[in-house]
Chain A
C-alpha cells in the first residue's frame, strides 16, 4: 500500500498482487449489503412494499419474545440436565439421558406439534384429575384452551433446545480440568459451591460462542411456530402473501427481516466472545 514504486522484486512477491487481493475480497458481503440497500430503498419508496414491511413488523415482537423466553427456559433446562448428565448418580444420569436422546431424535416440527396437541391436553386432563382427587376448585375445570398457543410454542422450543443446551453444558463441565474440582474439594467446598463458583463460571465462558450461535438458530427455528397459528413474522407473512398474492415481495421482505436480525445478533455474539476471552484466559 505505502510501498514505494521502486520496491525490489522480492518485496512485490511478498505483497499480494491486485488480482489476488480482488479474488480474496469479501464479495459475498458486498452483494449482501447491496441487496439490503435495494430492499431498504424499496421499503422507503414503494408503498406496497412499505405496507408489507409494516405488517410483518408487527410480528417482530412475538418472534423476539418467543425466542428470548424459550431460550432462557432452554438454558435453565440445559444447565440442570447437563449437570445431571455428569452426575455419578445412575438414576439421575439415566433420566437425563433419556430426555436428551428422545428429544434430539425427533424433528423440531414434530416435537412442537406433539407438545402442543398431545402434551398440553394430557397435562391439562392430568391437572383436572389431580384437582378432582384433592377437591381443589383451582385445579379443576381447566381446558387445553387455558394454555395459549404462544405458551405451547415456548414450551416446545424450550424442551427441544434444552436437550441441545444440556449437551453444551455437559461438554463445558467435562472440559474443565480435574484439578479444578480437586482444589475446590480440598478446600472443603461442597458440590454445589464447587459448581457455582469454580466450574460453571469457567465452563460457561467456554461454551458462550456455542450458546450465542444456538440463540441465533432458535430465532430461525421460531418460524416453525407459525404452524400453530402464532402470529410471528412468518405467520403474518403467510397470511399477507396469500391474501394479496404478493408472494415474491412478501417472502423477500420476510427473509430480509430474518437476515437483518441474525446478522446483527451474530455481531453481538462475536463482540461478547471477544470481551469474555480478552484477558483472563
Chain B
C-alpha cells in the first residue's frame, strides 16, 4: 500500500453533549477512492468536514499531504487549496456565472491570470460535459448541471484530493447519473477521493475502500466486494439490509 495522503488519528468532534466523531482513525492512500457509508447522524460528514477544517476537531490529529493541520489560518488555507470539496447543496455563487464561479478562486487563491483561469475553467467545464453553460447563472441550471459546475470549480484548483459530501442527495433521480458519471471518470483518472454517499452502485464500482460508520465510530472497513457480499459486523449487515431492501 502506498503512503497515505490523508492520515487521521484519534479524531474526536464534540458538539455540546453530542460526540459526533468518536476516536476515528482513517488512512486514505494516494490515488484511491474511499467511500464512507453509514446512517444519518453517524458522523461521516463531520469526518469529511474535519479534513479541510470546515469543522475544527475537538482533539486528534489530521495530516493532509504531509502537512499537519494546525489552527494557523494560513496553513489551513494552504491545505484547503489542495483539497477540493463538493457539497450536497452545490453552494455555487449565485451572483456569478458558471465560468466566473470556476475562475474566482483560481484568481484569488492560485493567483492565476484572467486568461489562465478562463482557459482552465473552459477545460473543466468540458470535462464535466457542459461547456455550453459557461455563461449561465446557477439559477438557470438544473441541479445536476449545478453540481457538475461545482465539481469543475473544485477541479480547476488542481487539488490533490477531492472530498464529496453527499453530492447526489439533493438531486432529482434523473440527474443523479450525470453527476455519478463525472465522479466515476474522476475516479478512473487516479484522483484521490473521499466520498460520503448513499449511492451503493458508486461504492461498489469505484471504491477501493469502504468505511462504515455508526454513532461516530468506524465499525467496519474493507474492500467493497467483501463489505457488500460478506459484511463482518452486525450493524453493517443491518444497515445494508435497510438500504438494499
Interface, chain A (partner B; CB < 8 A): 177, 179-180, 182-190, 193, 197-198, 201-202, 205, 279-281
**By the criterion CB–CB under 8 Å, are B54 and A182 in contact?**
yes
B residues within 8 A CB of A193? 108-109
Q: Mark B81-97, 1 if CB is under 8 A from A, else 0.
A: 10111010101111100
A-B contact pairs, 22 of them (CB 8 A): A179-B87, A179-B91, A180-B91, A180-B93, A182-B91, A185-B54, A185-B80, A186-B52, A186-B85, A187-B81, A187-B153, A187-B157, A188-B77, A188-B105, A188-B157, A189-B109, A193-B109, A197-B108, A202-B93, A280-B94, A280-B95, A281-B94
Q: Which residues of A contact B52 (CB under 8 A)?
A: 186
What's the Cα separation between A55 and B83 when bound, in Å? 67
Is the CB–CB distance between B139 and A281 below 8 Å? yes
Please tell me if the beta carbons of A188 and B81 are within 8 angstroms of each other in the complex.
yes
Tell me how far the C-beta of A141 lies from the nearest C-beta in chain B, rounded to whole angstroms.
46
User: What is the number of residues of chain B that contact chain A, defined by CB distance less than 8 Å?
Assistant: 27
Q: Is B78 an interface residue (CB 8 A)?
A: yes
Q: Tell me, rounded to whole Å, the shortest Cβ–Cβ distance linking B89 to chain A.
A: 5
Is B154's beta carbon under 8 Å from chain A?
yes
A205 cross-chain contacts in B, Cβ below 8 A: 95
Query: What 4 A-B pairs have minimum CB-CB distances, sorted nearest first?
Result: A188-B81, A183-B91, A187-B105, A179-B91
| Closest beta carbon of chain B to A3's beta carbon, Å | 38
Q: Which of A186, A190, A198, A202 contacts B73 (CB 8 A)?
A: A190
The reply to whether the CB of B137 lies closer than 8 angstroms to some CB of chain A is yes
Closest to B54 in A: A182
B33 within 8 A of A: no
Contact present for A198 and B89 (CB under 8 Å): no
Contact B78 A188 (CB under 8 A): yes
A30 nearest CB across to chain B (Å): 40
CB-contacts of B60-117 with A (<8 A) = 73, 77-78, 80-81, 83-85, 87, 89, 91-95, 104-105, 108-109
Q: A187-B153, A188-B81 are in contact. List 19 more A-B contacts (CB 8 A).
A: A180-B91, A184-B105, A186-B52, A187-B154, A188-B77, A188-B78, A188-B105, A188-B109, A189-B77, A189-B104, A189-B108, A190-B73, A193-B108, A198-B93, A201-B95, A205-B95, A279-B137, A280-B137, A280-B139
Contact call A188/B80, Cβ cutoff below 8 A: yes
Shortest beta-carbon distance, B151 to chain A, in Å?
12
B81:A197 contact, CB within 8 angstroms: no
Q: Which residue of B lies closest to A191 (CB)?
A: B73
Contact among A186, A189, A201 for B54, CB-based, below 8 A? A186
Complexed CA–CA distance, A252 and B188 (Å): 79
Task: Looking at the assembled complex, report how far the CB atom of B19 sits from the nearest CB atom of chain A, in whole angstroms.
Answer: 22
- Nearest-Cβ distance from residue B109 to partner chain A, whole angstroms: 4
Q: Which residue of A lies closest to B82 (CB)?
A: A188
Known A179-B87, A186-B54: A202·B94 in contact at CB below 8 Å: yes
Residues of B within 8 A of A202 (CB): 93-95
Closest to B85 in A: A186
Please indicate the chain A residues that have their CB under 8 angstroms from the CB of B81 in the complex. Answer: 187-188
Residue of A183, A185, A186, A279 near B93 (CB, 8 A) is: A183
Within 8 A of A (CB), among B136-164: 137, 139, 150, 153-154, 157
Chain A residue numbers with a CB within 8 Å of B109 are 187-189, 193
Tell me whether A281 and B87 are in contact in the complex, defined as CB-CB below 8 angstroms, given that A188-B80, A189-B109 are known contacts.
no
**Contact A186 B108, CB 8 Å, known A180-B91, A202-B94:** no
Residues of B within 8 A of A186 (CB): 52, 54, 80, 83-85, 87, 154
Q: How many angstroms between the C-alpha atoms of A160 and B20 in the bound complex? A: 46
Contact: A182 with B87, CB < 8 Å? Answer: yes
Q: Taking each of B91, B104, B109, B153, which has the highest tally of chain A beta carbons within 10 Å of its own beta carbon?
A: B91
- Which residues of the other chain, A, contact B157 by a CB distance below 8 angstroms? 187-188
Query: For residue A281, which residues in chain B have a CB less than 8 angstroms away from its CB?
Result: 94-95, 139
B170 to chain A, nearest CB (A): 11
Within 8 A of A (CB), among B214-243: none
Contacts of B92 in A (CB 8 A): 183
Residues of chain A with a CB closer than 8 A to B77's CB: 188-190
Residues of chain A within 8 A (CB-CB) of B73 are 190
